[in-house]
Structure 1
């Protein structure tokens, strides 16, 4: 985070103690626990993004990517690959689909299809670096239309930077899916974001055309995250009803962007 801050990226960054340390230890009931204090991200989440918000977001995300595509961190981070985004998650969350064999079979078929499509891409031409991998509006605050702060880099890892842009596109998919926007309105808004991004960093048409596949991978990756972090207190919604609904959302993504069914 210090690297982002030093290069002018708008991120929440860790605050050092008087001795220069960033990681602090705390005596807790469970024993010693560790934590980091970050600067406050001024402002608030904005779901209904105006063109000015989108111009700011595109420009600032591109600046983050300018930094993350050129640095090499001292300590390794996880990598976002076909295996970690698609194949491993499918195996990991399989036990949760007991009694939902039809839904799991659908996900298996869809994963295979998307893997085939990704393997057709010339990924050597895609920008690569450290991804935030959760660029939904809940993870950046706008102080005003021209000022924002990114935070929540918990998923950060190495991968194709189109992963980040795809995770943001999920926001517009959900806006259309929920009836808040038409697809035409969502596409126009996303184009404003892309145009602003390109004023700072190149973004090829080939990368944009890959959003359906990398966006699908985000859904599968996130389902694994929810499964592995489920407990009776923080994720009481996670169960058969939720999984059935979530697979329905993923089917809609597939129908709209990847493999339309005859009745779509």
Structure 2
């Protein structure tokens, strides 16, 4: 997504992020992210913070061959990344996610940021995917219809009444959080943050467990249940917010699919090409909460 450097001085370690020129093209959207980090820090959430230069500026402008690239120096998140493999860790991470949501409710900024709307997550994603599936037009047509089923399912549950606010955007729990020896967490990499449905934000944790524990559904459900227990001990999502999570799991997978296919930096990697498309199509054809709708889609395609 970006170029990230470890900076070591005799006294401290830092992380220097250089945003891609075709990813973050607006200083305002980067400033939004930095203001959110400072807000969370003031409200007791341990995060990796931007470091200002001698002129008091946090965002640097670098002249690169491809044009202006923005860069930010961040404090180093001390500790280590740990895969969440126990109910205790899952419960603790759920509490931490809820704290981020709770403390960000009072955040305000005059800067612009892409909102995590259905147009962004679904429609723009399909537009990004289509050029990379021109050789598989029937599969793409199927994907479009499954995506329409996702959107219809979400609208059935009245999205306008659901919890909307600041989302981290990448809360899978495997990275983006550093654990100290005493278990204290420092959160980082808010590059995907923005206003969105909190159900979408927590769906990424569920998706990450499904990807890693699909072979062990009992353990998957134990970790998910523990995560929700931790989350609900801090703030209570609405009944429909929880009902809609399985659909947002599929939406999140769709968005990640599009992100990988349109990223020129990973062309030719394992997250690109026909094997990758096959893997994702298998996922979308087997979303449990959409099985009835997917059956109709497949019947319609078979009859054409």
- Same fold by TM-score greater than 0.5: yes
Aligned-partner Cα distance in 2 for 1:65–1:215:
19
1:57 matched to which residue of 2?
93
Q: Is the 8 A contact 1:58 1:193 kept in 2?
A: yes
Q: Indicate which of 43, 51, 73 corresponds to 1:15.
A: 51
Structure 1 residues 95 and 57: alpha-carbon distance in aligned structure 2, compared to 1, 3 A threshold? same
Q: Indicate which of 138, 147, 159 corresponds to 2:196.
A: 159
Q: Is the 8 A contact 1:70 1:129 kept in 2?
A: no
Q: Is the 8 A contact 1:10 1:60 kept in 2?
A: no
Structure 1 residues 72 and 232: alpha-carbon distance in aligned structure 2, compared to 1, 3 A threshold? closer
SS state at 2:74 partner: coil
Structure 1 residues 233 and 99: alpha-carbon distance in aligned structure 2, compared to 1, 3 A threshold? closer
TM-score (normalizing by structure 2): 0.77
Aligned-partner Cα distance in 1 for 2:212–2:68:
43
List runs of 5+ in structure 2 lacking aligned partners: 1-36, 296-304
Aligned-partner Cα distance in 2 for 1:127–1:31:
39
2:169 matched to which residue of 1?
133
Corresponding position: 1:143 with 2:180 = yes
Aligned-partner Cα distance in 1 for 2:138–2:66:
42
Corresponding position: 1:193 with 2:227 = yes
Structure 1 residues 95 and 150: alpha-carbon distance in aligned structure 2, compared to 1, 3 A threshold? same
TM-score (normalizing by structure 1): 0.88
- Over the aligned positions, Cα root-mean-square deviation in angstroms equals 2.3
Moved over 6 A (4+): none
Aligned positions, number = 257
List runs of 5+ in structure 1 lacking aligned partners: none
Q: Please list the CA deviations of residues 60-92 of structure 1 after superposition, one character each: whole Å capped at 9, or x if unmatched.
A: 111110122332221121111121111221122
Q: Indicate which of 105, 111, 127 corresponds to 1:75.
A: 111
Q: Please list the CA deviations of residues 109-157 of structure 1 after superposition, one character each: whole Å capped at 9, or x if unmatched.
A: 2111111111111223321112111112222222246311221111112
Hey, which of these two has a bigger chunk of strand by percent?
2
Structure 1 residues 245 and 152: alpha-carbon distance in aligned structure 2, compared to 1, 3 A threshold? same
1:207 matched to which residue of 2?
241
> Once the 2 structures are TM-superposed, how far is the Cα of residue 164 of structure 1 from its aligned partner?
0.8
Higher RCO (CA-CA < 8 Å; seq separation 6+): 1
